[in-house]
């Protein structure tokens, strides 16, 4: 990050960058690695370079992601696209559902990230124009947690009262780090209830929704390029 002692050599990548915590369809991912112009392994992650875009794959949580981004030259000037999975906080999303993120909220432990950027550090807007692409991209608001299993029954009740619709682990700190809105799509993989986490059992549908979202992002990039 700027004005810190950590100043690694930074690599050039195309102006469009797709961030994917986990590429769920492993056979398709192996195909992508073979078709990439270059594959750069780094810190248990891969950066796949294509002509018009790059894809950063395999990270968990914002500390890992933000560290990786520091190795990319001029990353804050890139057009950023995020594709991940998330836990649903709404019973209506009780099957894998594609969501286009309109805004991302912070849990209390993350509020200090944006204390100087907005009068309401709990919420930051994202770009969600990707919802107009073919497919049921539903506009939704989400909340970021900093650790796995941070969710409790009181926490869940509070988020539902605030109108939150999904929970994930990277978007809020990423939004603060970049200092600008970006595109984010998530596919719900489970439903949080007061009795526990109900994992969606339709694995085939999750893969289909995930790949459709990925292909929509790539089509958006290559059409605009």
Dump pLDDT digits (tens) for 98-153: 999 988 988 876 766 655 555 555 566 676 565 555 567 898 999 998 877 778 99
pTM here is 0.91
| Structure confidence at residue 179 (pLDDT) | 86
| Structure confidence at residue 174 (pLDDT) | 93
- The model's pLDDT over 91-110, given as tens digits with 9 standing for 90+, comes to 999 999 999 998 898 887 67
- The model's pLDDT over 14-29, given as tens digits with 9 standing for 90+, comes to 999 999 999 999 999 9
184: pLDDT strictly greater than 90? yes
Residue 60 has a CB neighbour count (10 Å cut-off) of 14
CA distance 176 to 220: 24
Report the pLDDT averaged over residues 158-186: 92
CA distance 90 to 70: 35
141's tokens? 């608001």
CA distance 106 to 42: 28
Pairwise pLDDT comparison (35 vs 3), residue with the higher score: 35
Task: Dihedral sign for Cα 48, 54, 60, 63, please.
Answer: positive
- The model's pLDDT over 26-82, given as tens digits with 9 standing for 90+, comes to 999 999 999 999 999 999 999 999 999 999 999 999 999 999 999 999 999 999 999
| Structure confidence at residue 39 (pLDDT) | 97
111's tokens? 């509020």
CA distances (Å), 159 to each of 29, 110, 114, 144, 198, in order? 34, 15, 19, 11, 18
| Structure confidence at residue 6 (pLDDT) | 72
Domain assignments of the chain as residue spans, ordered by start: 16-224
CATH number of 16-224: 3.40.50.1580
| Structure confidence at residue 141 (pLDDT) | 94
* Contact criterion met (CB below 8 Å) for 130 and 219: no
Report the pLDDT averaged over residues 175-185: 90
């Amino acid at each position: 990050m700027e004005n810190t002692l950590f100043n690694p050599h930074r690599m050039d990548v195309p102006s469009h960058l797709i961030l994917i915590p986990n590429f769920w369809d492993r056979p398709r991912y192996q195909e992508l690695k073979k078709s990439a112009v270059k594959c750069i392994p780094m810190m248990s992650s891969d950066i796949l370079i294509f002509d018009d875009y790059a894809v950063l794959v395999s990270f968990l949580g914002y500390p890992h992601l933000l560290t990786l981004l520091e190795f990319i030259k001029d990353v804050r000037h890139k057009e950023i696209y995020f594709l991940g999975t998330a836990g649903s906080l709404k019973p209506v999303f009780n099957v894998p559902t594609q969501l286009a993120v309109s805004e991302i909220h912070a849990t209390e432990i993350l509020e200090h990230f944006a204390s100087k950027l907005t009068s309401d550090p709990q919420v930051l807007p994202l770009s969600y124009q990707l919802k107009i692409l073919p497919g049921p991209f539903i506009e939704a608001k989400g909340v970021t947690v900093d650790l796995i299993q941070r969710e409790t029954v009181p926490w869940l009740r509070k988020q539902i009262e605030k109108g939150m619709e999904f929970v994930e682990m990277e978007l809020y700190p990423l939004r603060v780090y970049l200092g600008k809105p970006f595109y984010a799509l998530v596919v719900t993989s489970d439903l949080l209830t007061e009795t526990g986490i109900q994992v969606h059992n339709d694995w085939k549908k999750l893969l289909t929704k995930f790949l459709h979202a990925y292909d929509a992002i790539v089509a958006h990039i290559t059409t605009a390029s």
